[in-house]
Amino acid sequence: MNPRSKPDWTAADSAALYGVDNWGGGNFSMTPSGEVTVKVQFDSGPVEVPLIEIVRGIKQRGHDMPLLLRIENLLDARITLLNESFREAIRQAGYQGRYQGVFPVKVNQQAQVIEEITQFGARYNHGLEAGSKAELLLALAKLPEHGLLVCNGYKDREFIDLGLWADKLGYRCFFVVESPSELPLIIARSQALGIRPLLGLRIKVSAKVGGLWTETSGDRSSFGLSTAQLVQVVDDLRAAEMLDCLQLLHCHLGSQIPDLEEIRAGVREASRFYADLVAEGVPLRSLDLGGGLAVDYIGNQTKHSHSRNYSLADYCRCIVTTIQQTLAASGAAHPDIITESGRATVAHTSLLLFNILDVMHFEAQALPDRCPSDAHPLVARQFALQQDAASFELVAGYQEALGIRDQIRQLFRDGEIPLRQRSLAENLFLASARQVLQRLEQLSECPAELSELPQNLADIYYGNFSVFQSLPDSWAIDQVFPVMPIHRLAERPERDAIISDLTCDCDGKLDCFILTGGERRTLPLHPLVPGEDYFLGVFLMGAYQETLGDLHNLFGDTHVVSVRVNENGSFDVMKELSGDSVAEVLSFVEYDPQALYNGFRDKAEKAVRDGRIDLSERQRLLEEFASRLRGYTYYCS
């Protein structure tokens, strides 16, 4: 959809343009007045709260942009939906096992998130997965008694001892053996402490999956036992008279798997392993299929790496019926099904909100009515092209103007053309390019030679955030998140833009966007109104982004606010965490803030002695320095 091609613009047009109904999963909507809302389902019906109202409430509580907003209701709803969808698939298929959800802590280790998952998941006995000692410790502190704890990754003596004692405390703690070298230590510590462990084995399935994380499956996966190693570990457990401890089979098909048939192939292979091990007398009870449930970031329900061609109900039915059908011939009892869905649990529940600070336009300034008499011949030709830009042959005319611009730049570098003539020539080129772009908007298909022109002429909107701190996957692996304004959406978005962050880095930008179910290199935005804030949101970013963020240019963690929407349409601020101060960030890189202040004070005192400032100026400077140390690392309005 081209916003400029529609004479009358409404909020419904904006909803269609930005694809809210496609990627929002029913969690976000839009008011007729053009405000994005968070949408929560209650027994009495849906309730919507405009995000701009939440922003105003948060600002009144003293928190500037940017901030990470968590919606508690959405996390509650995601856990409920996952568990209930599996329950329904099990009921429909007549499956004899149960479903057990597990959240992999690595996806979002933040205390608020883990606390809410254990709280909202308690009625389903939703478990946690830990892959390090730190994650194991927080899981032991947060999981309720009898909670399921799956321990993946490499394990040393301390890790193993903690997990064994967890069993004594009433947890169901499974050690998943990833490598044959782990087993002797697990057995030795078990015997030393007199605690028989619950064991699982991670297998490598040969079925490969698509998407961005294909290396987590197949023979070359870093983790998991080969077929030969699997057989050897089973024999070693039998020899140690510990085969009864082996009750779980684990595999990880991949992450963000877009194609349901690839999931089906992997589940079928894992089920065959399960059936044959049971036939050998291994007392397996659970099949852990790891992660893989994708989030449709684009919203077009395809096999694109940022999408998925299935619903949650499809995913649950696929797993349940594939296990059931594969085991039918063997007569093995149906195992309890475990999945470790992380991304699909938390992605929808968090969004980044930030304001726009400034904008750079790529447009011609005031142009003369006639070409100057002393103009270089190339400048004169550029002037003639600009006068004819509304009608010259589209591709050839633009390419000639582009070539002249580049020649003039070379002449300037060689000292053969003055600054003001270069400035005029580049202004003329921009004017021609803008007219070409207007003509392109009337065409059904853009010529390949001009495909990059819209991006080259796009405005740069400067956002008050850091890509590297808040959206590292967009930089590191080209992850695409939905981005859009959260207000003014009943107005036509007249500008095409990319978004630059506050860092002094050319990679600190967003230049791939989701629109009407697809991707585009520019984002339609509204012109800034002097004296008014303009707010954008980045959605579906609750998975991985917070922990992976770094301190590029020493921009720290943003403020974090967790809200809960009420049935009467109000909202409560449940938790508030202030973002990092400048002093805190400096301490992360081994500076002592007090020492920095003392050093600056000494410099100010020397300036007084030298007569460069007076005592009142000294005090004002020191107060400013101390205030900035205590302040937010981001731009404050």
pLDDT digits (tens, 9 = 90+) for 593-615: 999 999 999 999 999 999 999 99
Strand-pairing partners, residue 132, are none
Averaged over 6-23, what is the pLDDT? Answer: 92
Torsion angle in degrees (nearest 10) through CA of 581, 586, 591, 592: 0
- Going by pLDDT thresholds of 50, 70 and 90, the confidence category of residue 211 is low
pLDDT at 217 over 60: no
Contact 52, 535 (CB under 8 A): yes
What's the pTM value of the predicted model, to 2 decimals? 0.93
Using N-to-C axis directions, what is the helix angle for 157-168 and 182-193, rounded to 10°?
50
pLDDT of residue 286: 98
Task: Assess whether the previous peptide bond of 50 is cis (omega < 30° from 0).
Answer: no
Contact 37, 14 (CB under 8 A): no
What stretches of 151-259 show up as alpha helix (H) in DSSP?
Answer: 157-168, 182-193, 227-239
Phi/psi region, residue 130 (left: phi>0; alpha: psi -120 to 50; beta: rest), is beta
Euclidean distance between CA atoms 242 and 183, whole angstroms: 11
pLDDT at 365 over 90: no
Euclidean distance between CA atoms 607 and 171, whole angstroms: 65
Strand-pairing partners, residue 198, are 174
Averaged over 522-531, what is the pLDDT? Answer: 96
Q: Residue 273: count other Cβ atoms within 10 Å of its Cβ.
A: 19
- Going by pLDDT thresholds of 50, 70 and 90, the confidence category of residue 473 is very high
Strand-pairing partners, residue 286, are 248, 336
Phi/psi region, residue 26 (left: phi>0; alpha: psi -120 to 50; beta: rest), is left
- The answer to whether the Cα torsion of 618, 619, 620, 625 is positive or negative is positive
pLDDT at 387 over 70: yes
Averaged over 133-146, what is the pLDDT? Answer: 91
CA 177 vs CA 108, 227, 257: distances in Å = 23, 14, 24
Q: Two tokens at 180?
A: 């044959």
pLDDT of residue 145: 80
* R_g over Cα of the chain: 30
CA 562 vs CA 73, 103, 111, 116, 344: distances in Å = 10, 20, 12, 11, 19
Contact 569, 47 (CB under 8 A): yes
DSSP string, 94-114: T--S-EEEEEEGGG---HHHH
pLDDT at 6 over 90: no
Averaged over 493-511, what is the pLDDT? Answer: 94
- The string of pLDDT tens digits covering residues 77-120 is 999 999 999 999 999 999 999 999 999 999 999 999 999 999 99
- The string of pLDDT tens digits covering residues 21-52 is 999 999 999 999 999 999 999 999 999 999 99
Cβ neighbours of residue 143 under 8 Å, at least 6 residues apart?
118, 127, 128, 149, 171
- Going by pLDDT thresholds of 50, 70 and 90, the confidence category of residue 215 is low
Contact 345, 79 (CB under 8 A): yes
Euclidean distance between CA atoms 2 and 56, whole angstroms: 31
Burial of 563 (0-12, 13-18, 19+ CB in 10 A): buried
pLDDT of residue 209: 77
Give percent above pLDDT 90 in the chain: 88
The backbone torsions φ and ψ at residue 364, rounded to the nearest 5 degrees and listed phi first, read -70, 145
Q: Two tokens at 203?
A: 């297998």
- The string of pLDDT tens digits covering residues 424-466 is 999 999 999 999 999 998 898 999 999 999 999 999 999 999 9
Residue ranges covered by each domain of the chain: 95-341, 377-454, 583-630
The angle at the Cα of 128, spanning 323 to 70, to the nearest 5 degrees, equals: 110
Q: How far is CA 532 from its chain centroid?
A: 28
- Going by pLDDT thresholds of 50, 70 and 90, the confidence category of residue 221 is low
Euclidean distance between CA atoms 282 and 151, whole angstroms: 20
Cβ neighbours of residue 122 under 8 Å, at least 6 residues apart?
144
Report which DSSP code applies to 568: T
Averaged over 279-306, what is the pLDDT? Answer: 94
> Mean pLDDT across the chain, nearest whole number?
94
Assign domain 95-341 to its CATH architecture: Alpha-Beta Barrel (3.20)
Averaged over 484-511, what is the pLDDT? Answer: 95
Q: How far is CA 237 from its chain centroid?
A: 41
pLDDT at 212 over 70: no
Averaged over 472-489, what is the pLDDT? Answer: 95
pLDDT at 206 over 60: yes
Q: What is the 3-state secondary structure (H, E, C) of 193-221?
A: HCCCCEEEEEECCCCCCCCCCHHHCCCCC
Strand-pairing partners, residue 514, are 519
pLDDT of residue 222: 62
Strand-pairing partners, residue 525, are 495
